[in-house]
């Protein structure tokens, strides 16, 4: 466990294993930078002049013997041009620093916090913790982060503000990595029951209420949709409810965070092709994001009541599996022709949404799901899609995302899109084919949200990085943990 703290000594008096000094691109050597340059015997000026280090975004320069400073080693890291500065640059620079340090025996690291604001502190911690994560959980030789103490150096008048920001950043970083570690687990290791076990551990850790419903109870609730998806699998589906309550919360508001928890999506009888199917272990990333957000919320303690609902099942082909053309009845009473068993996410979410409305009495719903491949055609790996029936709520989610350093973009949900989901035999069908795939998925869910304010976030493409990004490496990203948490905080 890494301890984080705020210190007020002069940077040159800090006796850490490594001092990290962020520098803007071609920054003028005045003020604190002049202090550094003088103590280093003009090395900084030399680096700038020779072009060995200019402070470009994520550029690093390691100085092994920092004479003139009390620290043993110095790492300069670039923040890019001051005019183009956003907090994201701090996340990225901190991630770069984390990856530089990882695997090295450096226990105590100190950082000059620039700028010395709460937001910068939050972003540095997030970037550092998120940047420390690798997807090498099953490698025999893992590179571990050996930092035990991370100190942020700030002027005395900034301490309180920075401490708050730092704590939030630590919470968001750890909650995001927790979600990533779940998404990274192979499908055979993290089953719906495994998800329930993880949720029970979280509930015990934070003293949260938890209920777990198995297939027998789902049958009593009439949850034909999630039961249909799970029918082909040997693993029992689990509907997991985790409750965060605050004594001063409004009694007339209960927020629901609902996550798609397909622990493996083979497509069912509408089988996926083998290329890339191994990645379908991360089809529970919506549920992981909800559980991660619940952790963050339990740490930050906003005065609002929240339930996390994880709809967990496995989508497999077998002699018992749903057949294309089968008609199922969802908990709401709506009948669904399953014309494609690979559109299973919307089925499990349909029952989870009805359950949250009818049984839990929630007043607002945000669902998060790796719902459609089509969202990557629309947005690539940059934005997640948001759609819903309540514009103010969608706007609030977009603001929360931007505050959290994540990106959401709204897609439309006009009535015309319903056409593709009409069925000749039932109230609707579950797949509208290729056109407007992401919108169709949301449109299907809209009928189940009914008159409850609801928004849906599709993280199918942003949930998994195909390549290393500045501070989030290749693999599961933990996207939406911070957005959901920030949105819940904004409702307190
Ligand atoms: N889990 C997939 C969506 C997905 C695709 C997530 C790629 C991550 C990466 C979902 O269950 C699915 O299969 N959706 C279908 C829906 C279609 C049949 C209407 C899709 O996107 O092709
Ligand atoms: Mn599918
Ligand atoms: Zn799926």
pLDDT at 65: 80
Q: Which domain holds residue 48?
A: 3-157
Domain membership of residue 171 (yes or no) is no
In this predicted structure, the answer to whether residue 468 has a pLDDT above a threshold of 80 is yes
Domain membership of residue 166 (yes or no) is no
State whether 188 and 328 are in the same domain. yes
> Per residue in 158-169, is it b (16+ CB within 10 Å) or e — as a string?
beebbbebbbbb
In this predicted structure, the answer to whether residue 10 has a pLDDT above a threshold of 90 is yes
Whether ligand 1 lies within 6 angstroms of the CB of 55 is answered as: no
pLDDT at 470: 85
State the closest ligand 1 atom to the C-alpha of 345, by its place in the atom list counted from 1: 11
Backbone dihedral region for residue 117 (phi beyond 0: left; psi -120 to 50: alpha; all else: beta): beta
pLDDT tens sequence across 133-182: 999 999 999 999 999 999 999 999 999 999 999 999 999 999 999 999 99
| 313/193 Cα distance (integer angstroms) | 9
Which ligand is closest in space to the CA of residue 317? 2
pLDDT at 69: 94
pLDDT at 175: 98
| Angle in degrees, 0-180, between the axes of helices 345-358 and 437-449, rounded to the nearest 10 | 20
Whether ligand 1 lies within 6 angstroms of the CB of 340 is answered as: yes
Picking from 108, 123, 157, the residue at the C-terminal end of a domain is 157
Nearest-CA neighbor of 242 among 323, 308, 186?
Answer: 308
| 72/159 Cα distance (integer angstroms) | 25
CATH code assigned at 415:
3.40.630.10
State whether 98 and 234 are in the same domain. no
Whether ligand 1 lies within 6 angstroms of the CB of 286 is answered as: no
Picking from 129, 157, 185, the residue at the C-terminal end of a domain is 157
In this predicted structure, the answer to whether residue 66 has a pLDDT above a threshold of 80 is no
State whether 351 and 477 are in the same domain. yes
Which ligand is closest in space to the CA of residue 374? 1
- Give, in degrees to the nearest 5, the angle at Cα 338 between 216 and 360: 45
CATH code assigned at 148:
3.40.220.10
pLDDT at 202: 98
Domain membership of residue 313 (yes or no) is yes
pLDDT at 128: 98
Pocket test for ligand 1, best of 460, 462, 464, 465 (most atoms within 8 A of CB): 460
Domain membership of residue 142 (yes or no) is yes
Tell me the CA–centroid distance for residue 434 and ligand 1, in Å.
11
- Could you tell me the two tokens for 187? 């499908």
State whether 328 and 397 are in the same domain. yes
SS (H, E, C) 156-201: HHHHHHHHHHHHHHHHHHHHHHHHHHHHHCCCCCCCHHHHHHHHHH
Q: Which of 88, 193, 200, 272 is catalytic?
A: 272
pLDDT at 67: 85
State the closest ligand 1 atom to the C-alpha of 262, by its place in the atom list counted from 1: 1
State whether 119 and 229 are in the same domain. no
State whether 265 and 141 are in the same domain. no
Whether ligand 1 lies within 6 angstroms of the CB of 458 is answered as: no
Domain membership of residue 164 (yes or no) is no
Domain count, the chain: 2
pLDDT tens sequence across 394-441: 999 999 999 999 999 999 999 999 999 999 999 999 999 999 999 999
pLDDT tens sequence across 206-231: 999 999 999 999 999 999 999 999 99
Residues of the chain above pLDDT 90, percent = 98
| Coil/strand/helix, residue 77 | strand
What's the whole-number average pLDDT of the chain? Answer: 97
pLDDT tens sequence across 20-34: 999 999 999 999 999
State whether 276 and 371 are in the same domain. yes
| Residue whose CA is at the smallest distance from ligand 1 atom 8 | 460
Whether ligand 1 lies within 6 angstroms of the CB of 261 is answered as: no
pLDDT tens sequence across 348-402: 999 999 999 999 999 999 999 999 999 999 999 999 999 999 999 999 999 999 9
State whether 341 and 479 are in the same domain. yes
pLDDT tens sequence across 450-466: 999 999 999 999 999 99
| Residue whose CA is at the smallest distance from ligand 1 atom 7 | 373
**Entry pTM:** 0.98
pLDDT at 1: 81
For residue 3, the cross-strand partners are 149
Whether ligand 1 lies within 6 angstroms of the CB of 314 is answered as: no
Q: Is 346 designated active site?
A: yes
State whether 375 and 245 are in the same domain. yes
Domain membership of residue 381 (yes or no) is yes
Domain membership of residue 163 (yes or no) is no
| Residue whose CA is at the smallest distance from ligand 1 atom 5 | 373
For residue 76, the cross-strand partners are 21, 61
pLDDT at 282: 98
Whether ligand 1 lies within 6 angstroms of the CB of 374 is answered as: yes
pLDDT at 18: 97
Whether ligand 1 lies within 6 angstroms of the CB of 315 is answered as: no
State whether 130 and 190 are in the same domain. no
Tell me the CA–centroid distance for residue 371 and ligand 3, in Å.
6
State whether 457 and 401 are in the same domain. yes
- Determine contact, residues 427/335, Cβ cutoff 8 Å: yes
Domain membership of residue 401 (yes or no) is yes
- Determine contact, residues 78/59, Cβ cutoff 8 Å: yes
State whether 95 and 194 are in the same domain. no
pLDDT tens sequence across 322-354: 999 999 999 999 999 999 999 999 999 999 999
Tell me the CA–centroid distance for residue 62 and ligand 1, in Å.
45
Q: Which of 346, 364, 446, 482 is catalytic?
A: 346
| Residue whose CA is at the smallest distance from ligand 1 atom 18 | 343
């Amino acid at each position: 466990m890494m301890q984080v703290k705020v210190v007020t000594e002069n940077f040159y008096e800090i006796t850490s294993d490594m001092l990290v000094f962020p520098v803007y691109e071609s920054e003028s050597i005045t003020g604190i930078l002049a202090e550094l340059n003088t103590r280093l015997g003009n090395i900084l000026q030399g680096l700038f002049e020779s072009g060995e280090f200019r402070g470009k975004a994520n550029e690093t320069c390691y100085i092994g013997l920092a004479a003139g400073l009390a620290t043993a080693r110095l790492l300069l890291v670039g923040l890019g041009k001051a005019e183009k500065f956003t907090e994201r640059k701090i996340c990225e620079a901190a991630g770069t620093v984390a990856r530089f340090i990882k695997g090295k025996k450096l226990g105590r690291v100190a950082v000059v916090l620039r700028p010395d604001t709460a937001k910068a502190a939050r972003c540095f911690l997030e970037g550092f913790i998120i940047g420390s994560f690798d997807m090498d959980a099953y490698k025999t030789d893992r590179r571990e982060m050996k930092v035990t103490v991370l100190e942020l150096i700030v002027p005395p008048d900034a301490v309180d503000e920075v401490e708050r920001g730092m704590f939030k950043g630590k919470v968001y970083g750890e909650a995001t990595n927790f979600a990533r570690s779940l998404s990274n687990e192979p499908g055979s290791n993290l089953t719906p029951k495994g998800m329930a076990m993880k949720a029970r551990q979280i509930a015990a850790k934070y003293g949260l209420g938890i209920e777990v419903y198995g297939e027998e109870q789902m049958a009593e609730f009439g949850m034909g949709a999630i039961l249909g998806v799970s029918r082909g699998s040997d693993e029992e589906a689990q509907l997991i409810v985790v409750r965060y309550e605050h004594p001063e919360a409004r009694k007339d508001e209960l927020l629901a965070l609902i996550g798609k928890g397909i622990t493996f999506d083979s497509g069912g009888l509408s089988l996926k092709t083998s290329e890339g199917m191994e990645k379908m272990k991360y089809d529970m990333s919506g549920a992981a994001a909800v559980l991660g957000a619940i952790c963050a919320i339990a740490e930050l303690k906003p005065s609002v009541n929240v339930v996390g609902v994880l709809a967990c099942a496995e989508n497999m082909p077998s002699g018992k599996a749903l057949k294309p053309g089968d008609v199922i009845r969802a908990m709401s009473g709506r009948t669904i022709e399953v014309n494609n068993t690979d559109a299973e996410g919307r089925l499990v979410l349909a029952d989870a949404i009805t359950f949250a409305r009818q049984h839990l009495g929630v007043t607002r719903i945000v669902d998060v799901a790796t719902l459609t491949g089509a969202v990557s055609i629309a947005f690539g790996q940059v934005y997640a899609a948001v759609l819903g029936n309540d514009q103010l709520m969608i706007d609030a989610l977009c603001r929360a995302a931007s505050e959290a350093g994540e990106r959401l973009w709204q897609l439309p949900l006009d009535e015309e899109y319903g056409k593709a989901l009409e069925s000749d035999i039932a109230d609707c069908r579950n797949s509208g084919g290729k056109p407007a795939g992401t919108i169709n998925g949301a449109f299907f869910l809209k009928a189940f949200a009914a008159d409850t304010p609801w928004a849906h976030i599709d993280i199918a493409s942003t949930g998994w990085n195909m390549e290393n990004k500045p501070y989030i490496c290749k693999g599961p990203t933990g996207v939406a943990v911070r957005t959901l948490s920030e949105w819940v905080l904004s409702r307190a």
